[in-house]
């Protein structure tokens, strides 16, 4: 999928916040394309894995989506989060970088072609408590629904949702530590 426009993404996120999962998936997908292009342009050589920063940014977007105001543009918000996560990643690796705000503007115009990373970061899952890990893995890696996961582990759906949410929050915290 190509990079989507500001308007498309804002519409998708608005509908997603109202509770539409398919629009939310489309939003995150579209955002990941833009963020990947942005991050790859900024990371010219080793030290930081671009896909790590993409995932950190997506998680932050997910966990902090209540900070977006539906009457405002979504791309400046997305890129501010990506930039923050990128700088954070560099800082953790003990390097200093400068990012011009102007650089972000050109990213709006020309998103790069998406190439899906095959990288597997099972280690993010490995750090979770066993209960959370099996729930997050069932839903993400195995692609099961909340209902199927609940049945598989003999849990009720609320418990599955709680474990999933806490698991994602724990992964986000873990990202910030390594």
Partner 1 sequence: MKTDELIRAMTADASRRSMPLDTACRLAGALAIVLAAAAFMVTLGPRPDVLASLETVRFVFKFVVTLSLAASAFALLRILARPGAETRGYLPWLAAAPLLLAVAVTFELFAVPSSHWASRLVGVNSLVCLTFIPLIGAAPLVLFLLVLRHGAPTRPMLAGAVAGLLAGGLAAAFYAAHCPDDSPLFVATWYSIAITGLAVIGAFIAPRIVRW
Residues contributing to the site for partner 1 (CB under 8 A): 16-17, 19-21, 24-25, 28-29, 32, 51, 54-55, 58-60, 62-69, 72, 76-81, 83-84, 116-122, 124-125, 136, 139-141, 143, 145-146, 161, 164-165, 167-168, 172-173, 176
Min. distance of Cβ 95 from partner 1 in angstroms? 19
- List, as own/partner pairs, every contact residues 136-139 make where C-beta atoms lie below 8 angstroms and the sequence separation is at least 24, other chains included: 136/163, 136/164, 136/167, 136/168, 136/171, 139/164
Min. distance of Cβ 47 from partner 1 in angstroms? 20
Q: Which of 6, 3, 4, 19 is nearest to 72 (CA)?
A: 6
**Which CB sits closer to partner 1, 45 or 118?**
118
- Cα–Cα distances in angstroms (integers) from residue 28 to residues 39, 96, 102, in the given order: 16, 29, 24
Alpha carbon 17 to chain centroid, angstroms: 16
**Which CB sits closer to partner 1, 16 or 37?**
16
**Which CB sits closer to partner 1, 93 or 173?**
173
Tallying the residues shown for the chain, one arrives at 178
Min. distance of Cβ 46 from partner 1 in angstroms? 20
């Amino acid at each position: 999928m190509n990079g989507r426009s500001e308007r498309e993404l804002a519409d998708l996120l608005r509908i997603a916040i109202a509770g539409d999962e398919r629009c939310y998936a489309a939003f995150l997908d579209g955002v990941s394309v833009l963020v990947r292009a942005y991050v790859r342009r900024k990371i010219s050589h080793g030290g930081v894995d671009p896909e790590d920063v993409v995932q950190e940014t997506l998680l932050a977007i997910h966990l902090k989506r209540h900070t977006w105001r539906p009457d405002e543009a979504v791309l400046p918000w997305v890129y501010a989060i990506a930039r923050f996560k990128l700088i954070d990643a560099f800082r953790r690796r003990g390097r200093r970088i400068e990012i011009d705000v102007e650089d972000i503007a050109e990213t709006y115009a020309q998103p790069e072609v998406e190439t899906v990373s095959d990288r597997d970061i099972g280690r993010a899952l490995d750090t979770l408590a066993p209960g959370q890990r099996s729930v997050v893995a069932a839903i993400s890696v195995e692609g099961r629904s909340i209902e199927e996961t609940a049945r598989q582990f003999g849990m009720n759906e609320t418990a599955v949702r709680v474990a999933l949410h806490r698991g994602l929050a724990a992964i986000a915290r873990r990202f910030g530590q390594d």
